[in-house]
Chain A
Amino acid sequence: MEPTRNATPFAPTGTPGGIVDGRIRMNIVVVGHVDHGKSTVVGRLLADTGSLPEGKLESVRAFCERNSRPFEYAFLLDALKDEQAQGITIDTARTFFKSAKRDYIIIDAPGHIEFLKNMVTGAARAEAAVLVIDAKEGIRENSKRHGYLLSMLGIKQIAVVVNKMDLVGYSKEAFEDIRDEYIAFLARIGATPRFFIPISAFNGENLIVPSDKMPWFKGHNLLSAVDAFEKEPPKANQPFRMPVQDIYKFTSLGDDRRIVSGRVESGSIKAGEQVVFLPSGKKGRIASIEAFHAAPRAEIGAGISIGFTLAEQIYIGRGELMVKTSEVQAEVSRRLRINLFWMGKKPFIPGKTYYLKLGTAKVPCRLEKINYLIDASESGGQTKIAVERHDVADCVIELSKPLAFDPIARLEATGRFVIVDQYEIAGGGIVREALAEYAQTSASEKPSLLSRSSIPAEKRARLMGQKPALIVIAGGPGRDPNTPAKALEARLIELGKRAFYLGLEDAQEADAHTSSESGNSKIESGWEAEAPAALLGRAASLLLDAGLLVVAAAKGLDSEDVKILESLVKPHAVLQLEAPADAEEATGATAGLVAEALRALGKFG
């Protein structure tokens, strides 16, 4: 085992590419409109590169002859699939062909429109694609749709083959017409295929050697074109991004590590570096890199599933995006412009709540409006109010809470998302840009929904005879903040003040997975609810605006949480006090704290 596997560029999509027995593997997908010749391209490639089991081609040809049917390469593929279905073999279970350069795994991606879900699932795992267009039939609905999908799926290496050139007399003009039309079409979404190749798959023209039927064509043949594709470039020099999968604290067996875990999607990181978690904005420093049964590494690169401990006791949860303070930050927004393809049986409509999943974040979302349909079938520009199944659209969505992401042009892994309708993944897409959010008031409600009092804060304070303030009684381990907080509220009211008590669930418990001795007391993941500090901040903000003294009891708040509170209740003041140890019994200690709070309030006015 080599100890220095630093920042190695593993494809984070986790596809089974890589190197096997010293040979490089690349996953490719073959797509296109039905009957344009996908099976024939694949079958003929297998045959011509000598990648078929011995005698297979002959036996299928003989079978066709016996049954007086014309031979089809599709039959050959069916015969291979039958064999695979019986579970034979180790490696050939995946269709692959070889070139002198490497091995190609062909990902099964059925092309019929009903199988869009399968096509997308297959194509999402590919590193490169071959898109087949029939020279005689020309560009059809799925030629366009598949082109868009490949581009959205992030597959940049595309070879477009114009097939069945024999049916158009190997005409240069026919080829160029289709090529130009298709280029113009894909330009609408900013995609450009690497290669256009005129072929006749059935006759083997331009498949693995240049065709003498088309001497006018000087470009790559199909095999040399796919050989010219590159493996995914290293992602090490991109900004560091790690969606937080979970925070683990497995208390059993005396383990007291608190591990922030996830998989690095891009960039790399070392112990000692400063990080920030988004959208919460909490900061920390990497104290250690954690792994089980692995050689220690100084630096962690893209594709690696790993864990970190932090130098500071900050509390964050699943769904945050960890980035480095020294690099370009991810964006945080509640309004996005996206490109979306829809696979759901029911359309994507305004007014209904869906879930958006990006990285490990899961946020409720709504369709605000459709800018335009990147229409796969006919002329663009028509206005629609819903995104129907198989549509591709440019639209604006609103989120119920802030999301951290990157625009697709900057980073891919953190710029892609899926949308969940009910229980199903119904759409997938890419984030184009963050849009301006609706203006926020201190309570972060839309002004259009809530209108507020127009009495100036100073006047209100004068009339009520008190200046509003948030008094936070913080409880550390074994310190109960509720008893003293309630005592303080009672005392303030006795003194004629208008005070209001708010208690907060343990913030620390709410965002960490803690496995107790019984092993099964798991807490619901934190992303379902709002971050505890934010919840408290928003609630307190309204009460403060109403002129009250708010006494909040909160366990497990860290210094970053307090910053969040301060920013949410601005311009109101926050006073922070520590709950005394054993406040429960010792009323003396409680009384002490109440006195301290009153002194602090007195100073403040």
Chain B
Amino acid sequence: MEHDHLEQLENQSVYILREAYANFKNLAMLWSIGKDSTVLLWLARKAFFGHVPITLVHIDTSYKIPEMIRYRDHLAMDWHLTMVYGQNKGALERKETFPDGNITRLQCCKNLKTDALKNTLSGEWPRYRLNLETGKYEPDKNKDPYTGVIVGARADEEGSRSKERYFSPRDKNNEWDVGDQPPELWNQFKTDFAPGTHLRIHPLLDWTELNIWEYIQRENIPITDLYFDKGTGKRYRSLGCYPCTTPVDSTSKNVAEIVAELRTGKFANIAERSGRAQDKEDGGLETLRRDGYM
């Protein structure tokens, strides 16, 4: 009985992924290597019977914890993924980053994430694609903009579910008009869009942090071990760049222990992203999101 809820969430997410695949020619899925987008990737394997016919896009800030990149490439080879990454080379070369001490955290996020994402999706900046024969990244010949972008956003991180949609339009500048969202009913989604606009697709909108971990446990999904305590009494609850992410106090050493910990309600009054320092600056997450960050 306890799995009914997960079953229902899974069926809905699979349905959404297949609708996205049927309706968008240039479809990408953002993979941050974190737990949510890895669950999303797993759901894609469910939807497409073990295959992943969608390009996975990773934005490499170069400040990700190195284990994350190793884990990414390992899974990409193992699961035969079409794996692409992009980054803001210019800002990195000019040292326009927070760790270099030149700009604020928020500005750094904008450079290394928001701008890198925008230009990687539009194809204006180079993309690098994993060659599954050699295991090396090569410049990607495909420069077409992605018109459908699947992301792992969840409503419980966001606040009000009524603001978001499974299929949510973004205009040319990646902007989101919160006040004027299209209606969404009976699993009929917005799949028609004007030239120059694109859609964000959110198959995990109805999932909670606990659901994610319960599902990882049920399906035995390989997940990076940065989420586990390795004897220090600390673990990451949300993964970002190492200069701006601090672990939480927790002795959970595996998935089962995380599920048990979340069920106690221990974190019920602590925001999931509370370890992310950039959220605390002026405007924080809200400003980033409006600009197309996720």
Contacts and interface: CB of A to CB of B under 8 A. Distances in A.
A315 B48 CA distance: 19
B150 interface: no
B212 to A, nearest CB: 10
B22 A120 contact: no
Given A425-B188, A525-B22, A291 B269 contact: no
A546 B14 CA distance: 50
Contacts of A17: 8
Residue picked from A2, A93, A110, most chain B C-beta under 10 Å: A93
B268 A253 contact: no
Given A153-B185, A246-B22, A253-B51, A520 B142 contact: yes
B4 A13 contact: no
A126 to B, nearest CB: 11
A249 to B, nearest CB: 10
Interface stretch (B31-39, B89-97, B156-164, B239-247): B156-164
A519 B54 CA distance: 8
A30 to B, nearest CB: 13
A121 interface: yes
B50 A292 contact: yes
A261 B19 CA distance: 11
Nearest to B18: A245
B19 to A, nearest CB: 7
A424 B169 CA distance: 10
Contact of A14 (B2, B15, B160, B219): B15
Contact of A121 (B3, B47, B165, B271): B165
B14 A305 contact: yes
B127 to A, nearest CB: 13
Contact of B159 (A81, A120, A257, A423): A81
A88 B267 CA distance: 9
B81 to A, nearest CB: 10
Contacts of A424: 182, 190, 192
A542 B285 CA distance: 63
Given A108-B161, A263-B11, A424-B190, A90 B262 contact: yes
Contact of A522 (B25, B45, B47): B25
A245 B46 CA distance: 14
A94 B53 contact: no
A253 B80 contact: yes
A291 B47 CA distance: 8
Interface in A99-124: 107-110, 117-118, 120-122, 124
B122 interface: no
A122 B162 contact: yes
A416 B185 CA distance: 10
Most chain B Cβ neighbours within 10 Å, of A257, A417, A418: A418
Given A88-B271, A424-B182, A515-B51, A16 B160 contact: no
Contact of A90 (B156, B192, B194): B156
A328 interface: no
B161 A94 contact: yes
Contacts of A16: 5, 8-9, 206
Which of under 10, 10 to 19, 20 to 34, or 35 or more describes the interface residues of B?
A: 35 or more
A250 B8 contact: no
B147 to A, nearest CB: 12
Contacts of B22: 245-246, 318, 360, 513, 525
A91 B208 contact: yes
Contact of A343 (B48, B183, B262): B183
Contacts of A250: 48-49, 51, 53
Contact of A425 (B5, B183, B218): B183
**Most chain B Cβ neighbours within 10 Å, of A259, A293, A307:** A293
Interface string A312-324: 0000001000000
Q: Which of B7, B49, B269 gathers the greatest number of chain A CB atoms within 10 Å? A: B49
B123 to A, nearest CB: 13
A12 to B, nearest CB: 8
A248 interface: yes
B251 interface: no
Contacts of B9: 14, 16
A413 B82 CA distance: 35
A89 interface: yes
Contact of A515 (B8, B53, B161, B181): B53
Nearest to B54: A519
Interface in B193-227: 193-194, 206, 208-210, 218-219
Contacts of B18: 245-246, 261-262, 305
A72 interface: no
Given A303-B8, A305-B14, A91 B268 contact: yes
Contacts of B253: none
A106 to B, nearest CB: 11
B161 A248 contact: no
Contacts of B7: 5, 8, 10
Interface in B165-198: 165, 181-188, 190, 192-194
The 9 closest A-B pairs by CB, nearest first: A14-B12, A124-B185, A108-B162, A85-B159, A18-B5, A305-B14, A117-B183, A250-B51, A93-B156
Given A87-B272, A250-B49, A515-B51, 10 more contacts: A84-B159, A87-B157, A92-B268, A121-B183, A245-B19, A291-B49, A305-B18, A357-B188, A360-B22, A425-B183
Interface of B: 1-5, 7-12, 14-15, 18-19, 21-23, 25, 45-51, 53, 55, 80, 82, 142, 155-162, 165, 181-188, 190, 192-194, 206, 208-210, 218-219, 262-263, 265, 267-273, 285
